[in-house]
Chain A
Amino acid sequence: MNTRNRIYVIITLSIAILFLIIAIVQSQIDSFSAITKMTEEEVKNFLSGYLAGFPKPWE
């Protein structure tokens, strides 16, 4: 592989990794906005997994 091709590989990989990071951050933003728009009831349902099996003295 010659130097020109090495440069092409490095540039392609850099752009790909940059776009991958942007895509991950964007999906996190979408997830965050979905969570913040949840109603009280939806939040309770969403979190019910964390409380499964534990006693609920407040109920």
Chain B
Amino acid sequence: MTKNKEKNITLSLRPITNHKIRIVRIITQLVIFSLLNGLIFGLARVSLILPIEYPTGGPFSTVWSGFEALQYGLTIFTFPYLVIAIFGLFGAVAGKTTCGWACPMGLFQDLFSYIPIKKKKVSKPTEKSLRSFAVFIIIFALVFSLVIGISYNKNGSAAKDAYGIWGNIPYSVLDPVATIFATLFYYLKWGIQAETLGAEMGDWKFWFIARILFLAIILILITLYPRAYCRWFCPTGYILGFFNNFSLFGLKINKNRCPTGCNKCEKACPVQVPILDYDKNITHPNCTNCGECIDACPEGALKIGFRF
């Protein structure tokens, strides 16, 4: 059998969804982004917590961000049963799929990845080291929230107020996602006025500059390294990435359909998952199940679905 015939047979076995996943994903991201900003369309805020990176205090936000709810729960010294349940359910069922298909910050990073600049890659050890930023953010936010919560429990809300801008959701003071989707909007709406807004926010000048600086670093990184925030900084992404090891939904590779190992899937992957290192299920903590590898694979060796 000639090589061409072999190729034709393999191609005929490819699923019909090939090369369409990106379009479906972008439409899904846009629809979910619209729903998350439902106040624009007259929707109401709902008591729903989602494991996504989107500021709860955003001007049109309809839901709670999971990590923000976790911090807020600790600052009022309550055990965050609901947040843990939401992370557990989403994580065990879908792994990091919400990062790739629903997260507004993910959509924002995807848009930045279309800027025509040559994308850079990092080595595996560097990738692993850089992920420790997310661990640092998680530990900082949760420990600080717990300290505030203990003060609140002992001395009431006055003790919590003493923490000023850090009092409710500590990480939101520096969070670049909050800066993009909430802070910048409010600053543009109200202006930078020391007498009004500044007085409410305490050391607003310092923290304004600090968060703009952090945002600028993130913007440069996500332009050069696709989904850099997801990979190295995002606390929600890090928590969900842990569940990728055993999540019900995820990517599967059929090595029988991958005789050449052309590596196109790894080149297409925006988060540098070493796909060909896996034998069956792709369980890398960076994988957002975005499906770029499925679109790129000429042999139809990759599939997304349930893998129990």
Question: Which residues of A are in contact with B by a Cβ distance under 8 Å?
Answer: 1, 5-6, 8-9, 12-13, 15-20, 22-23, 26
Residues of B within 8 A of A19 (CB): 81-82, 84-85, 88
Asked if B92 contacts A9 (CB within 8 A), the reply is yes
A16 and B246 within 8 A (CB): no
Q: Is there an interface contact between A20 and B89, defined as CB atoms closer than 8 Å?
A: yes
Interface residues of chain B: helix, strand, loop or mixed (majority):
helix
Q: Which 9 A-B pairs have the closest CB atoms?
A: A16-B88, A23-B82, A5-B246, A19-B85, A20-B85, A23-B81, A12-B92, A8-B246, A19-B81
B308-A9 in contact (CB<8A):
yes
Kindly provide the distance from the CB of B250 to the nearest chain A CB, expressed in whole angstroms: 9
Q: Which residues of B contact A (CB under 8 A)?
A: 81-82, 84-89, 91-93, 243, 245-248, 281, 307-308
Q: Would you call B88 and A5 a contact (CB within 8 A)?
A: no
Rounded to whole Å, the gap between the CB of B212 and the closest CB of chain A is: 37
Q: Are the C-beta atoms of B248 and A9 separated by less than 8 Å?
A: yes
Minimal Cβ-Cβ distance residue in B for A5: B246
CB-CB under 8 A from A8, the residues of chain B are 245-246
| Bound Cα distance from A31 to B248, whole angstroms | 35
Is the pair B82, A20 in contact by a Cβ cutoff of 8 Å? yes
By a CB distance below 8 angstroms, the chain B residues around A15 are 84, 88
Instruction: Take A1-B246, A16-B88 as given contacts and tell me if A6 and B308 are in contact as well, using a CB distance cutoff of 8 Å.
Output: yes
Residues of B within 8 A of A13 (CB): 88-89, 92-93
**B85–A23 CB distance below 8 A:** yes
Q: Which residue of A lies closest to B90 (CB)?
A: A16
Which among B81, B91, B307 has the highest number of chain A CB atoms within 10 Å? B81
Please classify the interface of chain A as helix (H, G, I), strand (E, B), loop, or mixed, using the class held by over half of its residues. Answer: helix
**Residues of B close to A5: CB separation below 8 A:** 245-246
Complex Cα–Cα for A1 and B280 (A): 8
Contact, CB under 8 Å: B82 / A12: no
Residues of A within 8 A of B87 (CB): 16
Tell whether, in the assembled complex, residue A1 and residue B308 are in contact, meaning their CB atoms are under 8 Å apart. Answer: yes
CB distance from A10 to the nearest CB of B (A): 9
Chain B: minimal CB distance from A23 (Å): 4
B82 — which chain A residues lie within 8 A by C-beta?
19-20, 23
> Can you identify 11 A-B contacts, CB atoms within 8 angstroms?
A1-B281, A12-B243, A12-B246, A13-B93, A16-B84, A16-B86, A17-B85, A19-B81, A19-B84, A19-B88, A22-B81
**Given A1-B281, A12-B88, 10 other A-B residues pairs in contact with their CB atoms under 8 A:** A1-B246, A1-B308, A5-B245, A5-B246, A9-B246, A9-B308, A12-B243, A18-B85, A19-B84, A20-B86
Could you tell me the distance between the alpha carbons of A30 and B279 in the complex, rounded to whole angstroms?
A: 50
The chain A residue with its CB closest to the CB of B89 is A16
- Please name the residue on chain A nearest to B87 by beta carbon: A16
Closest to A16 in B: B88
Task: Say how far B69's CB is from chain A's closest CB, in angstroms.
Answer: 11
A17 to chain B, nearest CB (A): 7
Q: Say yes or no: B92 contacts A16, CB within 8 Å.
A: yes
Tell me, rounded to whole Å, the shortest Cβ–Cβ distance linking B49 to chain A.
10
Give the residue of B85, B247, B281 whose beta carbon is less than 8 angstroms from that of A16.
B85
A12 to B246, CA, bound (A): 10
Contact A26 B308 (CB under 8 A): no
Instruction: Please name all residues of chain A whose beta carbon is closer than 8 Å to the beta carbon of B307 when the two chains form the complex.
Output: 1
Smallest CB gap from A25: residue in B = B81
Nearest residue in A to B283 (C-beta to C-beta)? A5
